[in-house]
Amino acid sequence: MSSTDREQWATRIGFILAAVGSAVGLGNIWRFPFQVGQEGGAAFLVVYLAFIILIGLPAILVEFVIGRRSERNPIDAFERLGYRAWTIAGLLGVLGGFIIMSFYSVVAGWVTRYTLASATGAYFAEPAEYFMDIAAGTDALLFHLLFMGLTAIIVGLGIQRGIEMAVKLLVPALVALMVLLIVYGFTLDGAVQGYAYYLSPEPGAIAANWTSILPAAAGQAFFTLSLGMGIMITYASYIDDERSLVGDGAWIVGLDTAIAIMAGLMIFPVLFTIGVEPGAGGAGELFIGVGGAIAGLPGSRIIGVLFFGTVLVAALSSAISLTEVTVSFLIDRFGLDRPVATGIVAGGIFLLGIPTALDLMVLELYDQVTAELFLPLTVFLLVLFVGWFYDEALDEVSKGVSADWLPGAWLWHVRTIILVVIGITLILSIQGLIETLPETIEAIELL
C-alpha cells in the first residue's frame, strides 16, 4: 500500500465501513443459501454458526494483529515483522483472492443481468429456467466483462472511498429490502416447510454428514468474513492503537452473520412454494428463490431492480477490496502506476474467469477449491504464525481491551483449538476434493 492509500481509511468509521463493505457481499446473499441447500439445510446452519463464533471471530483477530502491528499489506507484513519466510502465507492468500475474484465477477455479472431483467420482468414467469438460460455462455461472459470493467475503473482511479461511504447507505437499504422479502416469504404456502428445512436440524444429521458439512461450513465462514485473503490484514493496517480489535471484530462478524441468516429466511420459503428442491438449483439458488418471490409481489419490477441493484453494490464493494490487494501489491513491489497495475490485474482476472462464465461446473469447481482449500490453508498458516511464532500478538490484541482475561484466553484458543479444528477441516477438504474431483472434471463440457 502506498502512503496515500494508508491515510484514506485512517479513521475508525472508515475502517469499519471498509471492512463491512468487504465482508457483506455475494458470500452472504448468494453463496450462503447455496451452501445451506447443498449441505442439507439446518444441520449446516448449526455447524456454520458454531464455526463463525468459535473460529471465525478469533481468526479475524489473528489477521487484525498482523495488519495493525506491521502496518503493511499481507505480502510485506511478515518481512516488516521480522519473519520473512512467512511471506508465503501472504502470497498464498493473494493467489486465492485472485482466483476467487475471477468467478465472483461472473456471479456479480448475473446480478447485473438480473437488475436489468427485473425492469422488463424477464424471469418472472419461469425463474428456474431463466437462470439456467443465462448462467453460462456468451451473455454471462459479457456481463463478467462489464462487472470487471466497472471494478477496474473504481480501483484504477483510486476512488474506493466513495464506495465505502455508499456502504453506509447500502447496508440499511439491503436490510430493509430483505425484511420485506422475508415478510412476503412468511405469507407463502411453503413457509412452514422452508423454515423447518432451514432452522430445525433433523436429529443425527450433523453426525451423519459432518465430514462434508465441516469443510463446507469452514469455507463459507472464511469466504464471508473475507479471511485468508489478506483483506483484513490490509484493512487493520489502518487502525490506530487505541481501538479494541476485539470490539471492531465482533461488530463486523455480527453484522455479516445477521445478513447471511436473513438471506436464508428470504429464500427457503419461496423454494418450497415454487417446488424447487433446495440444493437442486446449485449456484442458482438465490436467483431462483428470490426471483420467484419478487415475481409474486405487487410492484415486482421496482422491487426487483432495487433488490438486485443493492446486491450489486454490495458485490462491488467486496470486489474492490479483493482487487485492491493484488493491485497494491504490484504497486508496492514493482513500482507500477496504479492504472497500469489495475489493468494487469483486471485483465488477468477476466481471462481466468472465462471458463467459469462458460460452464457452471467450472464455476462450482473454482469456488470449492478456493473456499475449501486456499482459504483454510492460508488461515491455518496465519494462525500457526500468530499462535506459536510471533511474540508480540498478546501485546497487540490487549490494546484497548478492558477485560484482562480476554487476550490470554484468545491466545490459548488460537494456539490449540483453532489450529486443531482448521487442521482437521483441511484434511477433510482434501479428502473431499480427491473424491469429487474426477466426477466434476468429467462433467465439465468445455473440455
Binding residues vs ligand PFF (CB under 6 A): 22-23, 25-28, 97, 100, 223-224, 226, 229, 231, 318, 321-322
Nearest distance, CB of residue 328 and ligand PFF, angstroms: 13
Residue 406 CA to residue 404 CA, distance in Å, equals: 6
Q: Which is nearer to ligand PFF, 231 or 327 (CB)?
A: 231
SS3 per-residue string spanning 355-377: HHHHCHHHHHHHHHHHHHHHHHH
Nearest distance, CB of residue 320 and ligand PFF, angstroms: 9
H runs (alpha helix) in 275-399:
285-295, 300-334, 338-358, 360-369, 375-384, 393-398
Residue 204 CA to residue 291 CA, distance in Å, equals: 33
Q: Helix 191-199 to helix 42-51 angle, to the nearest 10 degrees?
A: 40
Nearest distance, CB of residue 322 and ligand PFF, angstroms: 4
Nearest distance, CB of residue 127 and ligand PFF, angstroms: 22
Nearest distance, CB of residue 49 and ligand PFF, angstroms: 16
Nearest distance, CB of residue 114 and ligand PFF, angstroms: 16
Q: Which is nearer to ligand PFF, 23 or 152 (CB)?
A: 23
Nearest distance, CB of residue 48 and ligand PFF, angstroms: 13
Residue 40 CA to residue 433 CA, distance in Å, equals: 19
Q: Which is nearer to ligand PFF, 86 or 235 (CB)?
A: 235
Q: Which is nearer to ligand PFF, 321 or 425 (CB)?
A: 321
Q: Which is nearer to ligand PFF, 15 or 195 (CB)?
A: 15
C-beta nearest to ligand PFF: residue:
27
CA end-to-end distance (rounded Å), the chain: 40
Q: Which is nearer to ligand PFF, 326 or 398 (CB)?
A: 326
Q: Cell for 367?
A: 469456488
Sign of the CA dihedral running 171, 173, 176, 178: negative
Q: Which is nearer to ligand PFF, 31 or 243 (CB)?
A: 31
Classified as helix, coil or strand, 329 is helix
Nearest distance, CB of residue 315 and ligand PFF, angstroms: 7
Residue 97 CA to residue 321 CA, distance in Å, equals: 10
Q: Which is nearer to ligand PFF, 104 or 198 (CB)?
A: 104
Residue 239 CA to residue 314 CA, distance in Å, equals: 23
384 CA to centre of own chain? 23
Contact 361, 443 (CB under 8 A): yes
Amino acid, single-letter form, for residue 73: N
Nearest distance, CB of residue 235 and ligand PFF, angstroms: 10
Q: Cell for 359?
A: 460452464
72: enclosing H helix or E strand? none
Q: Which is nearer to ligand PFF, 140 or 263 (CB)?
A: 263
Minimal CA–CA distance to 24: which of 164, 184, 189?
164
